[in-house]
Structure 1
Amino acid sequence: MDHNQLPSGHQVLQQLRARAEKRQHLATQSVGDTMPPDAQRLVQEPQVHQIELEMQYEELLMTQATAEIAHHQYIDLYDFAPVGYFTLTAEGLIHQLNLQAAQLLGTVRQRLQDRRFALFVTVECRPGFQEFLGKTMGSDSRETCELELLREDGSRFFARLEGLAMLSAAGTKYCRLAVIDTTESRETIRALEASEARFRLLFEQSRDAILLIQNKHIIDCNEATVQLFNLPSKSELLGQHVSIFDPPTQPNGQSSVEVADVHLVEAMRRGWNRFEWLLIGPNGQEMWVEVSLTSFSLNGQSILHCIVRDITVQRGAREQLRREKEFSESLLDNSVDGIMAFDAQRRLTAWNKVMELNTRKMEAEVLGKDVFELFPHHREGPEGEAVCKVLAGERVTYYKLKLYGRLGHFESYFVPLLNTEGEVEGGLVLVRDVTERVRLAEEATQLKLRQQQEVHSAILTTQEEERKRIAEALHNGVGQLLYATKLNLENRTGGTFSREAALALLEEAIKATRTVSFELTPGILQDFGLKSALEEIIKRIPRSGLHVHLYMKGSFEELPQQLEVSVYRIVQELLNNIIKHAQAQEAFVHVVHEEGHVFISAEDDGVGFEPTQTNARHSGIGLTSIRNRVDLLAGTLSIDSRPDRGTIVSIELQVK
């Protein structure tokens, strides 16, 4: 039977009284009124005695019931208590324990009876336990300590021990010991201590200035706050009003005190607030700070956690950025090119004055609109293709796009806009009016055509002059020698024929023919290359008139044939000019092939001339032919000459 279902002592007493009264009433009714008083007394006396015995028996039953209730209460309070209870002898043996005590030590009660409690105390804590047990047994007051205990399986836990010395009925002294597991609370306390230590460390070591404010006064601050305001110690701030470094007014002209009160009230209402604030440091210098306020309650009092960051540099940078943005907007508006930009969703984000002027669409009416909504007829054309390519990260240049819808020539440059991670976040379009440039290019093309015609005419003239010179050379040289040989042969009948004279004339004719042939197409150039051909030219120059030095560097075997012939003719013409016009005693010719270029330099110590007057006064010295060859090869020619100071001709040709 559950002890919770047993009747209370009062209920048992009431039941006994009811039964006794009932029985006494029955006994009174069983004796007639006719019986003599003595007989009635003799009959009623045993009945009353019986009732008294029955009531005593019932009182015993009530006492037993009360004892059972007390026993069950003892079981409730002892065996099922959430605290471990031990009864220890003076020697520290476990005499008695409850269920919770057995669970704390991780075994059953039967295994713990008569064992030393010290076996379940860690070796490090056993001296402390012995000291605690001795103090408890020798004292009439409650003793406490905290030790680390061992379970049966060897695992450890922390517990608080509360001991009280008691005397048994036999006069034996023993210890009533209560054991409470404090591992969780100890860990909680340790965690709180660690959290408080971390908070304190964070508070003290934070790079940001941190203040605690109560009733508008500073109650604590960290070292960073002291450094921020360049103070000797935090005592200079503690107890001060929060407006200690506030100027009378903020830049907007409002009172600092009034505006600060508004921010404080807002922080208390919302739980937090953030704003920028102008301070005046102890040195009188202005300082912009960002203030973050967080409201919390401690012991029923409202406290503000305040973080102050110096943003003077950042604010200056932001102001600089604002000015740069204004400059960029001004630059866009004053650009000669039409500029527009759009984001990844093709929404227009920029539209400058040139675009407004040429499209008749104002910035306010186009920003935020889709590019294809603004230019619907360009969706399927090259313009739409260019927008898609730009959003795919590709740079695109288109010519002759009709974004403006008016006559003219335009170039459109589509450039992707990337964020810091390299992702495309939009595109930029520059529309440049190149109508004037196209006109100038057409004029330049016409001029180049005229120049090419002049070069062609000069080449033809040169060719005709060369033919004339060759014809004169053949007529005056080979022709005369052959005619003299003919006359010598015709005089054979007259007896004056000389075989040796005829052979000599023929030999001279052969030499003249070879000279003309060499000037026309030098076979040595084709057979032995440029270096040998130029060396042969130098050998043919008479030493008595001019001493020529030739310097060649680089490999000339891989030069294109046309370029090889051109270099040969240019050097040949330069030497001819020096021989005919320079009146020089010594000349230096350099031919260098390196890094894809051929460099030709001819220097003499002759009479020189004024290069600016070449076309007018020196048209017959062969420079025109050299210029034509250099122009045809897309090379460069420069002449450095002064009268009586010699001449230096430098030519650079590109090997293609």
Structure 2
Amino acid sequence: MDKSQNSARVSHPSLISRLSGKLKHKNDIFSSPRKLTDDDINVLLNELQVYQMELQMQNDELKASYLTLDQERAKFVGLYDLAPVGYFILDYLGIVEEANQNGIDLLKISKQAIMNRRFQSFIAPKSWEDFYNFLHRMQHSDGKQSAEIKLKFLNGKVVYTRMEGIGVSSMFTTDIKYYITVIDITESRNAQQILKETKERLEMTLRASATGTWKISWGSNTVFLDSHSYKIMGINSWAFKGTIVGLISMIHPDDQQHVRHQLMSAVNGLKDIDMEFRVADETGQFKYIAAKGHEIKVQEESKSNYFAGILMDITERKKFEHEAEILKNDQQKLILSATLTAQEKERNNISRALHDSVCQLLYGIKLNLESVERVHNLKGEFKNVNQLLDQAIRETRQISYELTPAVLKNFGFVAGIKEMAQRTSTVHFQIDTYIDSSADFLHQDVQLYSFRMIQELINNCIKHAHATHAEVKVSFHDNQVIIRVTDNGIGLHQNIDEAFSSGSGLSGIKNRVYLLNGQIKFNNAKKGLVVTITFFNTPEFSV
């Protein structure tokens, strides 16, 4: 197209000038008094035929140029109408001079109705000021300008649009034309509005539920905490460096290993993050924090995956759980204490019945038999019966003592333990005792619990350990009571939990240690077993 136009522009003036020159020359010849000859006429006709052929060629070139221009214009019109955005050309007053099909469809109006109409009539009243500012900026700037303008149609529908355009001055007049594009961003704005409302609701929910959000990027070693998280954890943003190491350093030393293990397990893909830990606030008080989260997969290769989640202050919940645990513990202790008290009461009743009734009956039988022997002068006939009665009386008295040790009540803990050791010791089993005299000042319940535990341990030495020697030691250290029973038996080769569950004796020891808030340890020595029971002489058990 450019070559054709240039050729036409060059050939046409050249031909005109040549024709003008020839005609002027011939005119001079015709105007002279000399008469034209036949040769002159033939030369003139030949030249006219040549000029006619040149004009015909030039006309063909012009037709080809116009055809090329029409084809290029058709291509431009096609691209203009099929563009994905709306195109408009406005004059300096804002009147529409041209619009593409997308722009017409956007305004939902025919092309005849939009042409020569002020574009301002489609602008929502609240956006008039923004639109005029947009035109003003295009008028006084050579660069591209943009603005977000709302359009309002006859049916009342409002459309959010983004407009971009430039102002172009005319070459022949001082008027300016505005070339603008209009893009419908209603869907995007609605999505932004929904996202904004969702974010606001989330913020309100987080504030109401005292919940914060966090993000950990393991690759970059960064930790993000939102404003709620800083408030929940009781730390200042300037005091936190935003690193994983910095986060762990704020956690209670006893919980740091657990947090590291949780994070490493999550990084290795073993599980999601679900942990509880303690942090110190500005006042130095520790708060309980619960953090939950999971890995977020990132599709872009340039970005690594990260972990995100929520954290909550569970200090109050932990406090209530602790109080509930204490209450439950106290209830269990009350039930257990009541059970043991009932057992001791029943033992006391049985012991009294054995001592005051059965023993007295056995004594009566023995006395009657002795009277019969004297009256009938019998010698040796009741010897075996008397021996059996003596044995029955001894065993009944022993059972009565074991059920309720009268010495413990009448003479104190030290005397009770020593008498128990003396009664239990035999030729094949010897018991040594080392009892601190301060033990007599323990609470009566503590004395009874301690006596029962020592009694059961001694019975185990005889029945299960097959020991020949045992040592009982009761001492005090920093208001702590230490009971240690050592034997030279076969030791304990059973799991402690299984031993506690399988034997009623050890179970009774465990219950009494629990009531005393104490601890019990079993240690196998080179030969035998060492059982250590420790508990504090707390005020509620003091005299």
TM-score interval, normalised by the smaller of the two chains: 0.3 to 0.5
TM-score by length of 1: 0.36
Q: Choose 1 or 2 for highest CA Rg.
A: 1
